[in-house]
Structure 1
């Protein structure tokens, strides 16, 4: 039986820890790969070196901020508002498009270039589903109202009137 002070079993914590580490690792890989591709694309289309360096940071920063907003909403049991989801989707698509655009014009090259972003987005959503499962498992049932001295329920009886 699990410790009552810690409702999450040790194995559940281990699974989530491994998932978090995987998501962080994939995020770093995707950010590094995407940074290089977006910078190269910006330079290719005439941006100055300084702005070509900042553009990928703006995209990745937007994705991180949106991801954290969606993750926080998920931890609180909500799906999240439309803006963080829209920002996350647009930022992820921009990153993916840049990765594909700078790749050699072969299907395999484009697949390889797109893979880190795809892997990160997939792993991130798997982590969110784990957090939602954990939240649902920790919900305690609501107790029924205590009866009065004659054994009658203390609710207002509205249900009985219908």
Structure 2
């Protein structure tokens, strides 16, 4: 329970930080795009293309991880380009205020990317079923299932069980109807199985 609580609270913290960082990072990118000649819908949409690229690349990498396949090179490359673009846009936004301004402006983008990748790590680990030794000990063991029986074997097992139970053994007619097997074959199964 403790490990599950840790994962849940970590996920909530990551989502909260990512949400705040995304809003600030978007505003910085929007102001940068707007200051360099773009207006209207273009200025509002360009920042989404950067963060959208990061999202899409991360989802492809996550999907590959879930399928236990290597991440496609294009997804890795796209993720790297998206990270460089979002951090670069935020640095450029704050550069007019000197090195400290550039670092302060870059922080939301770094927090966004870092939080998003932490969330992807949690998701990948949950998909793989990673758990601590404590969780492994407390997880109930699944009962082992019997291998599939043929109708003939199931019929014979049921007949044998009825020999040891109270009352009369099951009739060949009942077994033939239940298992959809010809009565002559039922007789052979019972005779062969009980004489062995």
TM-score, scaled relative to structure 2: 0.56
Structural mapping, 1:1-162, within 5 Å: 10-103=1-94, 104-130=96-122, 135=128, 137=130
Deviations 1:21-76 (A, max 9, x none): 22222222222112111111111111122210110111122222222222333344
- 1:149 equivalent in structure 2: none
Cα pair distance change 1:50/1:78, threshold 3 Å:
same
Q: Secondary structure of the equivalent of 2:37?
A: coil
Q: Which protein is richer in helix relative to its size?
A: 2
Identify the residue that residue 173 of structure 2 maps to in structure 1: none
Q: Which moved more, 1:32-41 or 1:123-132?
A: 123-132
- Tell me if the contact between 2:14 and 2:118 (Cα under 8 Å) persists in the aligned partners: no
Change (3 A) 1:84 1:120: same
How many correspondences in the alignment? 130
Which runs of 5 or more structure 2 residues have no equivalent in the other structure?
137-196
Greater Cα shift, 72-81 or 40-49: 72-81
Rg comparison, structure with higher value: 2
CA contact (8 A) 1:26 1:116 kept: no
**Larger RCO: Structure 1 or Structure 2 (Cα < 8 Å, ≥ 6 residues apart)?**
1
Shift of 1:124: 3.5
- Identify if the C-alpha distance between structure 1 residues 57 and 123 changes in structure 2 by more than 3 Å, giving closer, same or farther: closer
TM-score, with length taken from structure 1: 0.67
In 1, the alpha carbon distance for the partners of 2:91 and 2:47 equals: 15
Please say if residues 39 and 52 of structure 1, whose CA atoms lie closer than 8 Å, have aligned partners that are also in contact. yes
